[in-house]
Amino acid sequence: MNSAQERIIELTQQLNYHSQKYYVEDAPEISDYEYDALLRELENLETEYPEYKRFDSPTQRVGGTPVDKFDTVVHDVPMESLQDAFDESEIEDFDKRVQNVVGKVKYVVEHKIDGLSVSLEYRNGRFVRGSTRGDGTLGEDVTQNLKTIKSIPMLLSEQVEYLEVRGEVFMAKDTFIKLNIMREAQEEPPFANPRNAAAGSLRQLDPKIAAERKLDIFVFNIQQIEGKQIKSHLEALNYLKHLGFKVIPNNTLYPDIKSAYNRVLDIGEERGDLYFDIDGAVIKVNDFAFRHQLGSTSKFPRWAIAYKFPAERQKTIVEDIIVQVGRTGALTPLAVLSPVRIAGSTVSRATLHNVDYINEKDIRIGDTVIIQKAGDIIPEVVGVDKSLRSGNEQNFTMPEHCLECGALVVREEGEAAYRCTGVNCPAQRLRHIIHFVSRNAMDIDGLGSSIIEQMLDRNLIETAADLYYLNAEQIAEMDKMGEKSANNLLNALERSKSNSLYRLINAFGIRHIGEKASKILAKEYKTLDNLRSALAEELVLIDDIGEIMAQEIVGFFAEPQNIAFIEKLKKAGVNCIDVESDETAELIFAGTTFVLTGTLTKYTRADATEIIENLGGRTSSSVSKKTTYVLAGKEAGSKLDKANKLGVRVISEDEFEKLIKGEIL
């Protein structure tokens, strides 16, 4: 064994130990900086010596190759659902049924995590497969996505012959809130609650997306085990904890149903203070022999029951209705409430969503309203007690100008939201800059959202145009940057100045104007100044440019903030001419359709698509008889199989490069 291999083993073991302390035991021993330094060293060694990369390397958790679909998994032991109870009498009836079969028993009470139930399988201590519950009998293989969850051990502390456990994948409340803020910044619809966010993340075909979502898990049951005898649920939980799993917290044995039910009520009082979301508590018979005697109905195990908590509601008074400008420019009315305690915290504000919501429920300033927390997290007004009106209540109207920047507020036909039209609006800065630097816009590598937030917090920039006026010293002083990273970022900014005009148009973030429309406008008008002078009447004459799009374009270039923004970009040297609009350029891919599949090593999919489209071709997501070429990378899946079946020409990246040069294959 050479020194590189020894160091890779040492680093892998160290990092896995510290991951266990951080993600499972909540007892970190080193700082994030120290952990990241060790991880970078391991990544560099694995790049240089890939043959020594270990199965349980933490670098494997960043997400593997995207899949076309999830394979079906048959659950040998059905993943049953639980019978629900909603009051104490139903809990008492459950206990009577248990005692009628097996006599007096002891119970374990657990939080009922509001997430997505999964199965984890291990052979000889190694994680081999993970699947969703599905319908309880058939689930989906989501192994690659589950590998990205850092609280799931890849290697157990003992080499158990075979082990299948059941757990609940969830998203922490603060992670959920941050994810929705980011989705809003990227103009994506927010998730309704943490459970939907967790389920949507785990079922992503691209594991890298799942990795970004920072999911977590609690393991709560042994489904199957070989090579060891376990006699009770509490023993099983302790053993699972010993193996390295993150198990349901605060497990205690209760001697009777009364004490178990009291614990259920305590959990109900605590749920607002938990960092994870629950929708109830579960009471389980502890002894496995008794469980075996009790068995299951066609739907539920007879040895467990779930007590479901109702959504807590309270009454309070709307003292005022104010408007908050979101990062997408949407104006959201908020109710300022007389403070009230609900679901474990004091609430003084609640979202009113939009004007239509206010009108539908007839919410007025001074009203007594009923509020609850959606998913026990986000306060919302669910109704008005009109019987308590005095006649002094006031109706709410949306402002005509943005309260943050003074730009005009508009509401498009068919939309519920009012929006600010100012590109320099302080409330929208982060969203605008994230979009401006994104891959399909100016494609500035090294500018992630956390770096942009730092720049805004330090007042280094106000708009994306200010990025081109930064110096190396300012960048190097930021967290996790340094001299090398600063120079790399400045080089990326300099390269972006010569980007195609369509990228700049797309980077403006004009509503309804995406990459395709930006290419059409760049080709039609040739320069940014020409486009700025265009009238709506002439824009609508262009194919694929509709009336609403035309109005958005004209309105964008008429806004004083946006004019100043563009002038600052021009002064910095950003290209404003369509250098790719030479009509004499040979469109060698004209009339051809490409399908991309597998992992490309020489190009990103976005780069390959751009090359194909610039040379007159088009791309498709599915293979058909009309497909001209399938460009296949490593680990190509069903699309490659279909191409071979239909006789469609399959080409490698080397052959693709020959086509680009005009060579005949």
Q: Residues with catalytic annotation?
A: 112
Taking CA atoms, 266 is separated from 131, 262, 273, 308, 476, in Å, by 33, 6, 12, 13, 50
Residue 349 tokens read as 């504000």
**Residue type for 213, please?**
R
| β-bridge mates for residue 170, sequence order | 216
Six-digit token pair at 39? 């991880």
Is 219 in contact with 247 (CB distance < 8 Å)? yes
Rounded to the nearest angstrom, the gap between the alpha carbon of residue 466 and the centroid of all alpha carbons in its chain is 29
Of the candidates 346, 319, 321, 316, the one whose C-alpha atom is nearest the C-alpha of residue 331 is 321
Please give the distance of CA 134 from its chain centroid, rounded to a whole number: 21
CB contact at 8 A, 132 and 118: yes
Task: Say if CB 45 and CB 12 are below 8 A apart.
Answer: no
Encoded tokens for 504:
């700049």
Q: How far is CA 76 from CA 70, 154, 192, 297, 299, in A?
A: 18, 22, 33, 17, 16
CA distance 429 to 464: 8
Name the token pair of 192.
Answer: 């309704």
CA distance 629 to 609: 13
Phi and psi, residue 284, nearest 5°: -130, 140
Q: How far from 398 is each of 168, 331, 358, 423, CA to CA, in Å?
A: 43, 9, 11, 20
Residue 596: exposure state from Cβ atoms within 10 A (0-12, 13-18, ≥19):
buried
Residue 427 is encoded by which pair of tokens?
A: 């409330």
**506 and 518 Cβ atoms separated by less than 8 Å:** yes
In DSSP terms, 255 is beta-bridged to none
Q: Residue 177 has which token pair? A: 């809130």
Rounded Cα gap, residues 177 and 162, in angstroms: 38
Q: Is 612 helix (H, G, I), strand (E, B) or coil?
A: helix
523 contacts 582 by C-beta, under 8 angstroms: no
Closest CA to 141 of 62, 210, 73: 73
Distance separating alpha carbons of residues 182 and 589, to the nearest angstrom: 37
Q: 605 φ, ψ to 5°? A: -60, -40
Sign of dihedral through CA atoms 92, 94, 97, 101?
negative
**Spatial contact of 415 and 316, defined as CB atoms under 8 Å apart:** no
